[in-house]
Amino acid sequence: MKQSLKRKVSIGIKIIVSKIVLYFLYKGFKVTYKYDKNVKKEIDSLENGFTAVIDTGIKNVNLIIKKEDNKLIRLKETENADIEIVFKSIDVAFRMFTGRLGVSKAYAEHRFTLRGEIAQAMILVRCIDIVEAYLFPKIITKEILKYQPKKNIGIIKTYISALIIR
């Protein structure tokens, strides 16, 4: 099926925004692992070598995180992920990444597929919710999160730390 120019531009913008959001989501994981005791506790409960994939369904527009030596690292690719979340379309991923659709609602509406143990997926989702609370302003998170977690640092310090942290 041939796509219109408008649709191609729309997809291109969604890909760029998704890559930026995934970059900050990864950095948000690293920042909250350092500053938020709940994220640290959740991630520490996972075994070393645990790998999670969040995939938009578009080649190279994904986030692959691995816990290694009690640190989080980003991988370019992996063969064996413990958890894989694959969105059914870039449109759904974009809505979620821009704070217009929460993880819980997306799951309830079957907007992504999940492979792996549900208990580990719930750990990942709880961490994503907390990371989103740090990255998004309250006006957005009150619409997509079931609860507002207590934050140890503000949004500005979160972004500054995200840009600095390795």
- At 15-27, the pLDDT tens digits run 999 999 999 999 9
Alpha-carbon separation of residue 56 from 19, 97, 161 (angstroms): 10, 10, 26
Domain ranges for the chain: 16-164
Looking at domain 16-164, its CATH superfamily turns out to be SCP2 sterol-binding domain (3.30.1050.10)
β-pair type (51-55, 83-87): parallel
End-to-end CA distance of the chain: 42
Residue 131 CB-density burial (10 A; 0-12 exposed, 13-18 middle, 19+ buried): buried
Tally of CA atoms within 13 A in the half-sphere of 103 that contains its CB: 21
How high is the pLDDT of residue 103?
80
What residue ranges of the chain have pLDDT lower than 50?
none
Choose among 105, 107, 103, 109: nearest CA to 136: 103
- Which has the closest alpha carbon to 99: 71, 137, 73, 53? 137
**What is the structure's pLDDT at 18?**
96
- DSSP H or E stretch at residue 62: strand 62-68
- Categorise residue 133: left if φ over 0, alpha if ψ from -120 to 50, beta otherwise: alpha
Q: What is the pLDDT of residue 7?
A: 92
pLDDT at res. 39: 96
Give pLDDT, residue 152: 86
Q: Is 107 exposed, middle or buried (0-12, 13-18, 19+ CB in 10 A)?
A: middle
For residue 3, the model assigns a pLDDT of: 84
Q: Which residues contact 103 (CB under 8 A, 6 or more apart)?
A: 96, 125, 128, 129, 144
How far apart are the C-alpha atoms of 67 and 147, rounded to whole Å?
A: 26
